[in-house]
Structure 1
Amino acid sequence: MAGTDLKKKREILFSKFPPGQVPEAADDLQHIEAVEVHARFEKRSLDVSYDLQQHTLRELDEHLVDKGFHLDNTLFTKLTRALIYYVEDTQLHNIGAPEKRLKRSASEAYVNAWEHHPHGDHDDTPPEWREYK
């Protein structure tokens, strides 16, 4: 039962404008490993299938938004999306899956900022003065 429970089938809805997003988005997502995509032009949507241990709906949605696609933002769609995000996060937590890292650029930004920030017992005093007695 746990194996079938992790195979997800979701629908990603797109806004009316700009038109023609569905075929481009379908082509883009088909290049992601372990994601099955079926375009539904009449509904301005994509049906996506994926294994929860490899992908989440949040990850796929964020990927599309980063690429410049406009997702449907009606209240019902936003609530549905938020519920799915919560359920998938909870399910991953319950099976003990490791948390996915922040986007590479964001995590590297924090590391670089930390390395350049004086912290701990940093002392600008020259070594010869610290040794002076």
Structure 2
Amino acid sequence: MKRPAAMPQTPIRKQRNILFAKFPPGQVPEASDFLGKLEDLELERREQPRALGVAYDLHHHCLQELEGTLEDQGYHLDNTLMSKMMRALIYYVEETQLHNLDAPVRPLKRSQSEAYTHAWERHPHGDHDDTPPEWREYK
């Protein structure tokens, strides 16, 4: 996943759960040891026996990268439909946030007013009113 070139001052902190499959058993402690070696990543055990909590800054890590690394190392993640849907949603949100960080800042107010100004200049206007003069001056 592409990281933004310039790092802003405010971190984007994420806290996620990584759910592991039932088989093979004992994956959570091993995965915790493996992920503990990565920099800028905080781990914590969850109440669920097959879950591992991770906290990270989006500028350094993303869930797709972490889970992909775990799968490359041979760990089996939970593949229930709900887990797949949540995973896809989180991947999309994080990718969109990273993309938006890399996007240039555009002053919307200025460009909108310019658009209205140009449209008004092209529009036929002036001292023309279709209302008859006797109706305009009615008292």
On whether the aligned pair clears a TM of 0.5, the verdict is yes
- Report Cα offsets for 1:7-56 as digits up to 9, x if no partner: 00000000000000000000100100000011236331110000001000
Q: Which runs of 4+ in 1 moved over 4 A?
A: none
TM-score under structure 1 normalisation? 0.68
Give, in whole Å, the separation in 2 of the partners of 1:46 and 1:80. Answer: 15
Task: For 2:85, give the aligned amino acid.
Answer: L
Matched ranges for 1:41-80 at <5 A: 42-80=48-86
Structure 2 runs not aligned, ≥5 long: 1-8, 104-139
Aligned-partner SS, 1:3 = coil
- Corresponding residue to 1:8 among 14, 17, 23: 14
CA contact (8 A) 1:23 1:39 kept: no
Identify which of structures 1 and 2 has the higher relative contact order when contacts are C-alpha pairs closer than 8 Å and 6+ apart.
2
User: What is the DSSP-based 3-state SS (H/G/I as helix, E as strand, rest coil) of the residue aligned with 1:43?
Assistant: coil
1:22 and 1:41 in contact (8 A); partners too: no
Give the distance between the partners of 1:22 and 1:41, measured in 2 at CA.
12
Tell me the distance in 2 between the aligned counterparts of 1:47 and 1:7: 13
- Letter of the structure 2 residue corresponding to residue 9 of structure 1: Q
| 1:37 corresponds to | 43
Q: Give the SS at the match of 1:91.
A: helix
Q: Do the aligned residues in 2 keep the contact of 1:30 with 1:36 (CA within 8 Å)?
A: yes
Counterpart pick for 1:18 among 19, 24, 33: 24
- What secondary structure does 2:94 align onto? helix
Residues 113-132 of structure 1 mapped to structure 2, 5 A cutoff = none
Q: Distance in 1 between matches of 2:33 and 2:24?
A: 17
Structure 1 residues not aligned, in runs of 5+: 98-133
Give the counterpart letter for 2:71 in structure 1: V
Which entry has the higher C-alpha Rg, 1 or 2? Answer: 2
Residue 92 of structure 1 is matched in structure 2 by: 98
More helix by share: 1
